[in-house]
Structure 1
């Protein structure tokens, strides 16, 4: 998913409080994720909704490359399989993000947060068995952290486009949690402790930088044998959720 978007819910609060340009003409931004920042034809858009779209994009910007690294450095079949799932799932999620962001006037990042880039740096430096161990545990931790947040957005948003993205993110995050656990390398005691006790980092470390004006969006390419597909926005465009509820 969307997984790896933030640790322990911290990024959701950070992005909700950040003046992340959305071209909505908002001069001041509340710290409340429930604050409506735009009324769209697909329903009201809150700060939490906007933060979620940005966070899903940021997750793909580090997890998709990590999947590619995993295919090169992974030692076990489980890690190689999980790497394929990261690339496949995040390419499809990212396409959905890039479709709905301009419709909602949300600016997307082109670089993940410094914290997320730190995960990439760690895995690039790892080799052998240690790579597999860190890969499985970092990604299980980050995906576990986002899972509840995806559910909260799905259950509370009044915007049908955001709801459709949450549907897709829920399936993707659960899939990625599952493949990490199937590696047999997850230390649940340590991982769950880190998941529920996130480090206290500066907001700047957990926030993806705003891209320069006019910079083209980076596209996360799907694998040749892609099985994941972007969400069907048809129902959402007609004012319904992607699953008809």
Structure 2
């Protein structure tokens, strides 16, 4: 016990000496951070691709087809209500275009999915059904705001998925479908914004 104090003092002196000789910034030691993943890190790997007669399809492509089908089911239903209930000519114009173009997407989506042996949804996704059920009991300006903002937010999310699929797809059926879906989505976004009912604060914030 008597010998511990000198060694303790010596250890403390050595530590102070090392710190004093180090460069000014060397005392701020931080754990190196792992590099942020690049945008390409989410790209499909060869193992994740599913072979089809029309070229491989990625998980994102397999996700896109049922989501477009479910979205068409929701938006044809709610846009039909918009034609019946809204007094805003811009809302009615958006609804007419959305119905026509989603019927086209629905037909094309069913054909592509069937040719590749993929399941075709017959009902909207549960989260989409919540919005349908909510709008079922609305009317007037309340319906207009809910209809426009629900669809505008959904189109923002759909555009991100469509763009991701289009960027990497090797499938000859999915590629033109993604192109068309992207064009329709941008048309719908513009029409919904022209209604004057879009609350931009509800839209998803892009990541860095």
Compute the RMSD of aligned alpha carbons.
Answer: 1.7
Identify which of 86, 90, 101 aligns with 1:78. Answer: 90
Q: Deviations over 1:149-191 (max 9, x none)?
A: 11110011111111111011101100110110000111112x2
Q: 1:161 & 1:85 partners in 2: Cα distance?
A: 24
Query: How many positions carry a matched residue from both structures?
Result: 163
Partner of 1:108: 120
2:151 matches 1:139: yes
Counterpart contact for 1:145–1:196, Cα < 8 Å: no
Q: When the two structures are superposed, what TM-score results if normalisation uses the length of structure 1?
A: 0.63
Secondary structure of the structure 1 residue equivalent to 2:111: helix
Q: 1:161 & 1:36 partners in 2: Cα distance?
A: 18
Q: 1:112 & 1:96 partners in 2: Cα distance?
A: 17
For 1:89-108, list aligned pairs within 5 A: 89-108=101-120
Q: When the two structures are superposed, what TM-score results if normalisation uses the length of structure 2?
A: 0.74
Partner of 2:131: 119
Secondary structure of the structure 2 residue equivalent to 1:88: helix
Counterpart contact for 1:49–1:157, Cα < 8 Å: yes
For 1:21-60, list aligned pairs within 5 A: 34=45, 35-60=47-72
2:192 matches 1:180: yes
Partner of 1:157: 169
Task: Answer 1 or 2: higher relative contact order, Cα 8 Å, separation at least 6.
Answer: 1
- C-alpha deviation, 1:36, in angstroms: 3.7
Greater percentage in helix = 2
Partner of 2:7: none
Moved over 4 A (4+): 32-35
Counterpart contact for 2:85–2:139, Cα < 8 Å: yes
Q: Deviations over 1:92-135 (max 9, x none)?
A: 00111111111111101100111101111111111111111111
Distance 1:154-1:172 versus aligned 2 partners, 3 A rule:
same
Q: Which runs of 5+ in 1 are unaligned?
A: 1-31, 198-245
Secondary structure of the structure 1 residue equivalent to 2:173: helix
Q: Deviations over 1:210-229 (max 9, x none)?
A: xxxxxxxxxxxxxxxxxxxx
Secondary structure of the structure 1 residue equivalent to 2:60: helix
Counterpart contact for 1:36–1:44, Cα < 8 Å: no
Q: Which moved more, 1:125-134 or 1:172-181?
A: 125-134
